[in-house]
A and B are shown apart, each in its own frame.
Chain A
Amino acid sequence: MGKLYDRLSQDYRIREGLKACISCGTCTAICPAAEFYRYNPKKIVSIVQSRDDDAILELLKSDVIWYCGECMSCVTRCPRKNAPGLVIVALRALSIELGYFVESEKGRQQLPLMHALQGNVLNYGYCVYPLTFAYEMHPEYGLVGKWQKEHIEDVYERLGAHLGQVGPGALRKIPQESLDELKAIFDITGATRWMEIVEEKSREKAAEMGLTMEEYEAQAFTKTSSCHLNPEN
């Protein structure tokens, strides 16, 4: 009965999501990630349920916990009212808290992700924001998307959005007081601390890998090794 498990068991998502797994596999059967990654949610739940700290540690450092898309399809099917998806979320949170995320390629994606998302939320009050959604990073935005970006003000205005304007409406400028409240919430509830952990650990890891922070972040955003995919394909 290890320490890592004890920490996990404090997490409400484990309390909610892991009652007693019977390894029936209904979760894996319909898991979008299990089909395309070397991934099996049932196994992860089994490991956590085993309370084997060594195995949990290995999980926290591995790519495996980062494959889930958090669609929560598994929740619907479980005959024991477990939520494998929530178990994953809890594992990820712990991996960040303890800084193990930098040990895996997929975990290292935290840096670009957090820069983008925390940045958007704190600066604009939105998770996604057209001005920070770069076509270069998102070629699938398509030729229409490229056009939309090129004519951003015209298009949004015509479609009734209030991009950057005061008052209610889509994409409005959120009042500074509200943004300040978000920042206060971030500070109090640990989001700011997470950003600090991620930046610090990433910096250490980048140094270890002999990369500048820019290279490290760019690599994390674009690099994918074949080891994530199933061997038979």
Chain B
Amino acid sequence: MIYQGKQKIWSEYQKEIPTDHWFYVRSCIRQTFFPASEKMFLEILRNRLGKDVYETPSHTTCGGIAYHSEAIPQETVMTIIARQFALMTEAGYENYVCSCITSFGLYTEVMEDWREFPELEAKIRENLWKATKREFKTPKYLAHASDLVYKFRNEIAEQAKFRLVNRETGRPLRVVEHIGCHYAKMFPSKGVGGAEYPYVLAGMVESWGGEVVDYPERRHCCGFGFRQYLVKANRGYSLSNTHKKFESMEPFKPDMIITNCPGCPYFLDRWQYVIAEQTGKTYGENGYGIPVFTYEEVAGLVLGYDPWDLGLQTHQVAVEPLLDKMGVPYKPEDKYKGLNGKRLQRPEFPMNIKCC
């Protein structure tokens, strides 16, 4: 691997990202599975970096998952998106940042479609007016939340309490980055670093002291596949694709996986559990599996937040071995506490994958 070659490509895919005043929309999946990550994003931007990030209670799903599962037609999803843009316009913002990769891809695609087919945009405007009496402007800048964290990665590194470095050996942690398919595969120029060697997460990892591991199947989809996961009958597809990725990354012995997609961290985490329970195979060291994180979780760890406030206890693959490597302190007894220190019964132990 010739690193300079990748640097050259990264230099060609730099995306303009404004530094402040963002209209923020949430992700259905992330808030369900990783609510603390979204909280951490706002915490870092608002409190750590003092940025203006606005969120309105009236915003809804973009409809992306329903659209990609063919539960709603294209016109519907476009009109829902138009409504989101209208909320932004009404709030007086021009920079739109979304937490979800599916949304990000869909917004990008919709805006491209409208640009190419103005009559389509006109139709959607009409639809929106009829349904809600709202009007909208398309965002001037569209970013995914990870773009912003990437943008401020060095500022975060400056405030870092911990680094992605093995405390004992002093070596950088080996990090696998997994980019959501809809981040840049459809429009490579819209993603930091392009589609082939995306830099958005790699930049964070490097900035925070880790080492990115390129393995052969790094570009492969996690296998969510919308309906392929949502319908139980199809889940073999989802599982098999994740399995393929793990088989490919295994020889590279990664310490952790960092993702910027809503579903991917959930699938990469949970399918390890399923593979272990079905076949007995685990991919990490000592039977633990490879821990999977959202970029906000990693940022939170680096900045010194309590792992249990970051929601790492909701991962099925144990995070403690990694915390130990990084030297992040944690109280095992606090892991499964509820609100206000309420003690909750801990989850059961799986059979084949080790948990703490």
Task: Give the chain A neighbours of B345 by CB distance below 8 A.
Answer: 147
Interchain CB contact (< 8 A) of B127 among A118, A166, A185: A185
Tell me the total A-B contact number using a CB cutoff of 8 A: 277
Q: Is A71 an interface residue (CB 8 A)?
A: yes
Q: How far is the CA of A172 from the CA of B134 in the complex (A)?
A: 23
Task: Give the chain B neighbours of A36 by CB distance below 8 A.
Answer: 236-237, 240-241
Given contacts A116-B230, A127-B64, A170-B26, contact A69 B224 (CB under 8 A): yes
Does A188 contact B233, Cβ atoms closer than 8 Å?
A: no
Q: How far is the CA of A69 from the CA of B66 in the complex (A)?
A: 13
Q: Is B215 an interface residue (CB 8 A)?
A: no
Task: Say whether chain B's binding surface is mostly helix, strand, loop, or mixed.
Answer: helix
Interchain CB contact (< 8 A) of A127 among B61, B223, B225, B233: B61
Does A171 contact B80, Cβ atoms closer than 8 Å?
A: no
Given contacts A93-B73, A168-B56, contact A69 B225 (CB under 8 A): yes
Task: Give the chain B neighbours of A206 by CB distance below 8 A.
Answer: none
B interface residues, tally (CB under 8 Å) = 96
Query: Which stretch from A1-9, A47-55, A137-145, A207-215 is at the chain B interface?
Result: A137-145
Given contacts A16-B116, A174-B57, contact A118 B71 (CB under 8 A): yes
Task: Give the chain A neighbours of B60 by CB distance below 8 A.
Answer: 121, 125-126, 174, 178-179, 182
Task: Give the chain B neighbours of A70 by CB distance below 8 A.
Answer: 68, 225-226
Q: Is A46 an interface residue (CB 8 A)?
A: no
Interchain CB contact (< 8 A) of A126 among B61, B236, B347: B61
Q: How far is the CA of A185 from the CA of B315 in the complex (A)?
A: 36
Q: Is B163 an interface residue (CB 8 A)?
A: no
Contact with A along B118-131 (1 / 0, CB 8 A): 00100000011011
Chain A positions 136-174 with a Cβ under 8 Å from a chain B Cβ: 137-138, 140-148, 151, 153-161, 166-172, 174
Interchain CB contact (< 8 A) of A170 among B39, B117, B188, B316: B39
The residue on A at minimum CB distance from B126 is A188
Q: How far is the CA of A175 from the CA of B58 in the complex (A)?
A: 6
Task: Give the chain A neighbours of B313 by CB distance below 8 A.
Answer: 144
Q: Is B113 an interface residue (CB 8 A)?
A: yes
Given contacts A12-B120, A175-B57, contact A121 B63 (CB under 8 A): yes
A131 CB to nearest B CB, Å? 10
Task: Give the chain A neighbours of B308 by CB distance below 8 A.
Answer: 158
Q: Is B219 an interface residue (CB 8 A)?
A: yes
The residue on B at minimum CB distance from A16 is B113
Does B57 contact A166, Cβ atoms closer than 8 Å?
A: yes
Does B83 contact A185, Cβ atoms closer than 8 Å?
A: yes
Given contacts A151-B344, A166-B57, A188-B130, contact A221 B231 (CB under 8 A): yes
A149 CB to nearest B CB, Å? 10
Interchain CB contact (< 8 A) of B232 among A12, A114, A194, A221: A221
Query: Which stretch from B5-13, B179-187, B204-212 is at the chain A interface?
Result: B179-187
The residue on A at minimum CB distance from B244 is A35
Interchain CB contact (< 8 A) of B315 among A83, A128, A144: A144
The residue on B at minimum CB distance from A74 is B185
Does A189 contact B75, Cβ atoms closer than 8 Å?
A: yes
Does A159 contact B338, Cβ atoms closer than 8 Å?
A: no
Task: Give the chain A neighbours of B346 by CB distance below 8 A.
Answer: 147
Q: How far is the CA of A140 from the CA of B226 in the complex (A)?
A: 16
Task: Give the chain A neighbours of B70 by CB distance below 8 A.
Answer: 89, 92-93, 96, 110, 113
Does A69 contact B274, Cβ atoms closer than 8 Å?
A: no
Task: Give the chain A neighbours of B66 by CB distance below 8 A.
Answer: 117-118, 120-121, 127
Q: Is A223 an interface residue (CB 8 A)?
A: yes
Q: Is B339 an interface residue (CB 8 A)?
A: yes
Find the residue from A142, A151, A160 having the highest chain B CB count within 10 A. Answer: A142
* Pairs A-B, 4 closest by C-beta atoms: A69-B225, A154-B338, A147-B347, A161-B35
Report A's interface with B, CB cutoff 8 A: 11-13, 15-16, 30, 32-33, 35-37, 66-73, 75-76, 83, 89, 92-93, 96, 106, 109-110, 112-114, 116-118, 120-121, 125-130, 133, 137-138, 140-148, 151, 153-161, 166-172, 174-175, 177-179, 181-182, 184-191, 194, 220-224
Not counting A159-B311, A182-B60, a sample of 14 additional A-B residue pairs whose C-beta atoms are within 8 angstroms of each other reads: A73-B181, A73-B219, A96-B70, A113-B69, A113-B230, A116-B71, A117-B65, A127-B66, A138-B232, A144-B314, A158-B338, A159-B36, A181-B83, A189-B76
Interchain Cβ contacts under 8 Å between A and B, 6 examples: A76-B196, A113-B69, A147-B348, A169-B55, A181-B134, A221-B232
